[in-house]
Amino acid sequence: MTPTNDEMAEVLKPIAPPRVIEGVYTDDQYERILRMIQTKGPWPTITAHHFDTVEELVATSTGVVPEGLNLTLDDVATGHFRGYIANGSTCFQTEIEDCFYNFKFLDLVRDYWGVPYAQPTHMLFNLCGPHHSGLNSHLDAVQFRGVRMHNSPVWLQNVMGKSGLFQDHLVKMAQVITWWYLGENGTFTYWPDGPHGQPKVLDHPLWNKGVVVQNELMFHRGDPVGRPEERDIPGLKHRSMLGYDADRDDWAITTDGEVIRRYQPSEMRLLVHWSAELYADREEAEKAADHSDDLTFDMVFERLLADMRAKGVQVADPTDPLHDTDFVRALIATYTIAPTTDWLSAA
């Protein structure tokens, strides 16, 4: 049965409202995390990690790319940068392994879901100074048995999540997300009651303050950072990088090796995102481990195409559905859903 917009909105709610926590990391853990970021950069933009086209980027958030508007990722680049600390349940930075294999966090997410089993899956950080960030909310990569971050593009995972057609293969996930930022603006807005509900804001002070949350099925966003007059970054590109300059004790954005913007440490907003997979029982855990009930891409696209056609969408069979721009546009247009309420229209 084809889900309606209201039914899709019902799907896009976390298992429980976010739980706010204080004092998430110890001072020593924070100092080691920051030192790692300073010494192992420079770091690419968030979008450079995940997207090859504007269509793929839009598929994770809201809206539709208008016909005839030939945007590139350079046109929509923002000064927000990312690095991975761990992925595939493997920590890449041994000096902060205790932050990833974190018993405190495992207890928090098990209690959040009310289930007995959990394993950490990945950990990343986002880092920025004042910059123009869009006000569009988004979902994090929705995980399904057989369709995961390591083998699938984020845009496909999020189209699947919005469609509501794959709930039988949804993987239970939860995050501990923590901020360090004492500058202006840069708050966290989220829609815990679904995209048709009222948003809430995690407000200042945001120093070692976090949430336990299911961000894959909850629209959310990081609000614009810094004062409006501080946000311009002339020369910013999709390929720009952010690194720490130890000689100057500041942070520099570069494009093709040329410095285009510098920030003082006090201007920087750091977010650390820790994620875990959860299981209601051993059977569910073993099903995830042995891949006995995995989706395949053929199954996914067959179900999506059937649903689109049931909605009356005229769409050709794609020869390369993971890279067919027209097909991605059709998916976005069919499964577009966005929050209908907001507290911030301009910043």
Q: In what order do the strands lie in the sheet with 90-91?
A: 19-22, 206-213, 172-181, 269-279, 117-128, 80-87, 90-91
Q: What percent of the chain has pLDDT over 70?
A: 91
* Residue 346 confidence class, pLDDT cut points 50, 70, 90: very low
Where in the chain are the domains?
5-334
Is the model's pLDDT at 77 over the cut of 70? yes
Position with higher pLDDT, 76 vs 324: 324
Residues 6+ apart with CB under 8 A from 149: 87, 122, 141, 143, 157
Tokens of 283: 């059977």
Mean pLDDT of the chain: 91
Q: What's the DSSP call for residue 143?
A: P
Nearest residue to 225 via CA among 286, 135, 164: 135
Q: At what angle do helices 154-163 and 325-334 cross, to 10 degrees?
A: 30
| CA 145/CA 321 separation, integer angstroms | 19
Give strand ranges (E) for the chain: 19-22, 43-44, 80-87, 90-91, 117-128, 172-181, 188-190, 200-202, 206-213, 220-222, 241-245, 250-255, 258-263, 269-279
What is the model's pLDDT at position 328?
A: 87
Which CATH number is 5-334's, of 3.30.300, 1.25.40, 2.40.50, 2.60.120?
Answer: 2.60.120
What is the model's pLDDT at position 2?
A: 46
Tokens of 67: 């016909």
Is the model's pLDDT at 70 over the cut of 80? no
Mean pLDDT of 225-246: 95
Mean pLDDT of 52-71: 61
What is the model's pLDDT at position 136?
A: 79
Of the given ranges (257-261, 267-271, 280-284, 322-326), which has the lowest mean pLDDT?
322-326
The string of pLDDT tens digits covering residues 147-189 is 998 899 888 998 999 999 999 999 999 999 999 999 999 999 9
The string of pLDDT tens digits covering residues 272-319 is 999 999 999 999 999 999 999 999 999 999 999 999 999 999 999 998
What is the model's pLDDT at position 61?
A: 57
Cβ proximity of 148 and 50 under 8 Å: no
Tokens of 15: 């298992």
